[in-house]
Chains A and B, each alone.
Chain A
Amino acid sequence: MEVVPMPGYQNRILRVNLTDRTFKEEPLSDDLIHDYIGGRGFGVKLLYDDLSPDIDPLGEENEIIFVAGPLAGTSAQSFSRWKIFFKSPLTGGYFMSSGGGHFASELKFSGFDVVIVKGKSERPVFLWINEGKYELRDASYLWGMDCDDTHNLIREELNNPRVRLACIGPAGENGVKFAGVFSDRRAAGRGGGGAVMGSKNLKAVAVRGNKKIDLADPEAFSAAVKEQVDRYRAAPHFKSFSRTGTQTPEFTNVLGIFPTRNFRGGVLPGIETMDGSVFNEIRARNTACHNCMIHCGSISKIESGRYKGSWSEGPEYETIWAFSGPILSSDIGLTVAADKLCDDMGLDSISTGNAIGFAYELYEKGVISKEDTGGLDLTYGNDKPVLNLIKQIALRKGIGDILAEGTREAARRIGKGSEQYAIHVKGLELPAYDPRGAKAHGLNYVTLNIGADHCAGYAGQEIFGAPFKGKAVDRFAIEGKGEITKWNQDDRAIWNCGVMCNFATGYIDLELYGRLLSAATGRKEFEDPDYLWLVGERIFNLERMFNIREGFGRKDDTIPERLQKEPMEDGPSAGKVFEIEPLLRQYYTVRGWDPETGIPSHAKLKELGLDFTIKA
């Protein structure tokens, strides 16, 4: 295919069919770029167009789509997020997940914006994309290898240490429903993308290249990047966040929303033994994604205690919580060791921690016993079984086999009332913020098209007091939360086109972001914040329509009864419940969706240019 130069983009989609081992290249269409910008916009539109409803998420027809944004690989800061899109084996619906590191920029340098993989290979393979050329290579010898070893061995095989990968570990191979996709210990962890790759016998996608990314207006682009860098440096919390990253679990503990014992309490006793100051002591060095001056990642190393010698890149806030709050442990060593093991096995640490916390509560309630756990004592506070359980989940051994299905399906299989202890939305386990103490944050969990995720609608107004339209927001209040939630979700969809890291969007605004996009791509419409808001809302609604086509609706916009009926047990959010009905009513109204069905109105879909989703 002749490549037509197009600034910002490489203007090439690579389609790979693993069943018949065929490849096809396509240019980006002008409509796709205009209507969806890139990143998340491209992902949802391509997935919506390509997939038929009701396909098996682990079948040949499902796709996994890898996307790098229009600003990936440029000198603009913090745009090296790569995204994957697929129908989720965990939720049964639309899914997107995102990772950092260097994969996005290297994918662009290799000559592609998008790689779409479908079908199923007869034997394990990895896809090797090098300077615009591509091939499938045998990965039989890599099957069973952990993610770190897979990186090393593929780089050795290709005789190139600068190759970047997105790969799966044993969890993905074994069809663990919350297996992730990993790139240099950075994860697109959520939703089971690793299981989708595993179902296709696709061990990894390896990329390398030196292809230049053209810019429409290099002078304007340089000026915009300089302004971006200046704004980072001037931000009051830039330096401290650069140092600590998200290794500060105490910030939600003081709000009383650090979930403990499977979302019963909100304060972890002993958290001071693993708070930010302790992480500062175990941080060996910081790490960074491609062209990101924040460098918020950390290599952490444990020098004493039961987990002496353990190290990991991270753990991030969510992982710190996943291996402390759910089991009532505050051993920083476990959080590091479990983080590394999840990275090696290829597991989403959030869902893994939830699954283990779920098992601990079943054990406490007598629903399961040592007979079911293979002799493991799952008493709260006893963290000894955790690493064993992680391995069992990844390898589908013992009780891990059933936990590997995710808490919703595991509860269905176990029965005996265990459904009430499965803490998920649409099958996706909750992140580390109890929604009873942050109502917009919880409403985002309820209404996100992928289920309970914190990244795609984070309510900073409630968590760290950011004003909304100039006013402080009461985190316990119900009124106004529909509007805030919609704003947060559409806002994230806009930034996810770039694709910009969530940690960096606070340093710049849509006006500067629009200038970066426009100077890179030459698309003047991207300079207009109103246009960006339109695209953000369009993306969110198209994701919704993907799920509506799959049979989702208001019945799926729910949250476990525990959070609606059992008051928070302790701390500054004690006594609070999550009032789903009034919150959801507000939200549907603000969205322009039918309050009875949760389906976007025809008028809303037409307004957003989504007429094609309306059934005749």
Chain B
Amino acid sequence: MRTADRGEFEQVFRSGYPSVLRTAYLVLHDRGRAEEVTQDGFLRLYQRWSQAVSYDHPVAWVRKVVVRDAIRRAERERRQQPGLVLVDREANDRLPDLDLLQALAELPSRQRAAVVLFYLEDRPVDEIADLMDVSESTVKQHLYQGRKRLSQVLVGGVVGDVG
């Protein structure tokens, strides 16, 4: 790779890595594996940089790769170890809301990914649908169910379905 290309890649990495890592972490709930998945995604971007440099949003491409990989891993691990939730101690330096983190971890992995992408990464519904390879109505359904469950934790008490 040419020095100039490498410089451009490094810029994209620096700007995109923290948010992609956060998405992967919130899907996987394990910092080590989230770092692995994110590294793998950016490595693939690096390896195809001669084509990727022309993308409008190289980070969006990486996010797609990483989220799909993270969902696959989360689903596989959930099948292997039902109910096991790993909360990374290092990641809790800012005293996060552990109930909220736990509630997020308990959402089905696809629902969790949709919630993280929509509410934290501000991705539009059509992009999330493309990224997760599902229809927009499925994404909306995931978001509704996720919002309902998280509201119960944040507001407290049982929340009725008011349609």
Q: Do A and B come from one complex?
A: no
List the interface of chain A (C-beta within 8 A of B): none
B-to-A contact residues, CB < 8 Å: none
